[in-house]
């Protein structure tokens, strides 16, 4: 029913205009030229986005990174979040946060929230393999506005997250060599800004199909200098995700673009990145092979040295472009 409503809205907009009518299908899209694109919400439902929609300046002022919520999960509270409030030391003391554990931070993308599917999926994977502090950043106050407005708000959300992490480690304990930031789509650029704000100290930053529309040439985009080691997993490159290499290690499963195995449309391929990552945390079975060039990566013809895609290893390091094949359903 939800999908039907989206389709009906699209059709009403399409009369006499070049608006795509098939939900989730972005085969029409040309970066920098197309006005409309389908984007998934936190449950994978496609929504039509107008990339020329005016930015809501009032919303940016009232709903910025100051509205971030930080939900802590540990093996002592794997399902029920404890909210840590930036600046309130008692909120750390009254929680299960333990500075001797690794710290994993998960950040959702556009039109999502802390309960959206990718968050519990990745959270549960981490807690299954490590006694860790897992923090889910809920930035729905801004993420659930227009895409164009959310893009403009990403730096603020990331900066507040970076400052929160500095405060948390200073007051609750912790080691930057045990910090791993993971973000999907717009969330990938959020964690990039967070790492930059924190002095590029996080041991690992993982961008899951970093958002592409309006991010080409954007100085606020995730880049290889945002942490000690930055990696990306590209699954819908050139459409909803960035295709160009932007990290120390860029992984291109199945060529890094739509259609991913088991997907027919762009929105499915984009949403595949967090699923692949969650699976990699649990099993660490994705074996990337070093590519000699970008063309090899796009065509999945890489045969060089091995580097595992994803996983939760905090001291993981590696450089270059990596290709690999995956299955079409969990655990892929």
In angstroms, the CA 107 to CA 254 distance is 24
**Which pLDDT band, with edges at 50, 70 and 90, does 13 fall under?**
very low
Q: Which two tokens stand for residue 306?
A: 């091995």
Query: Above 50 in pLDDT, residue 8?
Result: no
pLDDT on residue 14 = 41
Interval 42-88: pLDDT, tens? 999 999 999 999 999 999 999 999 999 999 999 999 999 999 999 99
In angstroms, the CA 11 to CA 21 distance is 6
When the candidates are 3.40.50.1820, 3.40.50.10330, 3.30.590.10, 3.30.70.1140, the CATH number that belongs to 53-324 is 3.40.50.1820
pLDDT above 70 covers a percentage of the chain that reads 95
Overall average pLDDT of the 174-191 stretch: 98
pLDDT on residue 18 = 72
pLDDT on residue 19 = 87
Residues assigned a catalytic role: 185, 209, 270
Report the run of H or E that residue 141 belongs to, with start and end.
helix 140-143
Report the run of H or E that residue 153 belongs to, with start and end.
helix 147-172
Interval 265-306: pLDDT, tens? 999 999 999 999 999 999 999 999 999 999 999 999 999 999
> By three-state DSSP, how is residue 306 classified?
strand
Interval 212-252: pLDDT, tens? 999 999 999 999 999 999 999 999 999 999 999 999 999 99
In angstroms, the CA 37 to CA 267 distance is 10
Interval 35-46: pLDDT, tens? 999 999 999 999
In angstroms, the CA 26 to CA 9 distance is 17
pLDDT on residue 218 = 96
Q: Decide: 193 and 225 in contact? Cβ < 8 Å.
A: no
Overall average pLDDT of the 89-93 stretch: 98
Query: Above 70 in pLDDT, residue 2?
Result: no
pLDDT on residue 147 = 98
Q: Decide: 228 and 201 in contact? Cβ < 8 Å.
A: yes
CB contact burial 61-100 (16+ within 10 A = b; e otherwise): eebbbebbbbbbbbeeeeeebbebebeeeebbeebebbee
Q: Which residues contact 256 (CB under 8 A, 6 or more apart)?
A: 234, 235, 237, 243, 297, 298, 323
Q: Decide: 298 and 257 in contact? Cβ < 8 Å.
A: yes
Q: How confident is the prediction for the chain on average, in pLDDT?
A: 95
Does the bond joining 331 to the residue before it have cis omega, within 30 degrees of 0? Answer: yes
Q: Decide: 138 and 114 in contact? Cβ < 8 Å.
A: yes
Overall average pLDDT of the 3-15 stretch: 42
Quickly list DSSP for 15-82.
TTS----STT--TT--TTT-SEEEEE-TTS-EEEEETTPPP-HHHHHHSSGGG-EEEEEETTEEEEEE
Q: Which residues contact 293 (CB under 8 A, 6 or more apart)?
A: 321
CA angle 237, 240, 245 (to 5 degrees): 35
Does the bond joining 259 to the residue before it have cis omega, within 30 degrees of 0? Answer: yes
Q: Write down the pTM of the prediction.
A: 0.94
Overall average pLDDT of the 255-273 stretch: 98
The domains of the chain are located at 53-324
């Amino acid at each position: 029913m939800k999908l039907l409503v989206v389709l009906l809205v699209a059709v009403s907009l399409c009369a006499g205009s070049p608006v795509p009518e098939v939900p989730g299908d972005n085969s029409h899209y040309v970066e920098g030229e197309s006005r409309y694109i389908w984007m998934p919400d936190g449950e994978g439902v496609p929504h039509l986005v107008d990339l020329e929609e005016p930015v809501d300046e009032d919303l940016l002022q009232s709903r910025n990174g100051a509205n971030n919520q930080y939900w802590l999960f540990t093996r002592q509270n794997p399902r029920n979040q404890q909210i840590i409030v930036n600046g309130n030391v008692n909120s750390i003391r009254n929680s299960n946060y333990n500075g001797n554990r690794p710290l994993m931070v998960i950040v959702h993308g556009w039109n999502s929230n802390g309960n959206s599917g990718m968050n519990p999926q990745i959270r549960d994977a981490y807690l299954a393999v490590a006694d860790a502090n897992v923090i889910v950043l809920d930035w729905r106050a801004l993420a659930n506005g227009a895409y164009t407005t959310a893009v403009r708000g990403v730096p603020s959300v990331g900066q507040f997250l970076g400052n929160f992490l500095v405060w948390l480690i200073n007051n609750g304990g912790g080691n930057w060599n045990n910090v791993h930031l993971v973000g999907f789509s717009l969330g990938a650029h959020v964690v990039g800004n967070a790492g930059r704000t924190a002095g590029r100290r996080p041991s690992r930053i993982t961008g899951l199909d970093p958002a592409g529309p309006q991010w080409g040439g954007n100085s606020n985009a995730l880049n290889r200098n945002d942490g000690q080691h930055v990696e990306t997993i590209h699954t819908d490159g050139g459409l909803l995700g960035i295709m160009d290499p932007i990290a120390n290690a860029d992984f291109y499963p199945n060529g890094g673009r739509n259609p991913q195995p088991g997907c027919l449309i762009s929105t499915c391929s984009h949403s595949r990145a967090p699923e692949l990552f969650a699976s990699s945390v649990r099993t660490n079975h994705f074996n990337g092979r070093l590519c000699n060039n970008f063309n090899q990566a796009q065509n999945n013809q890489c045969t060089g040295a091995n580097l595992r895609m994803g996983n939760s290893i905090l001291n993981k390091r590696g450089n270059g472009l990596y290709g690999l094949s995956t299955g079409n359903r969990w655990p892929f």
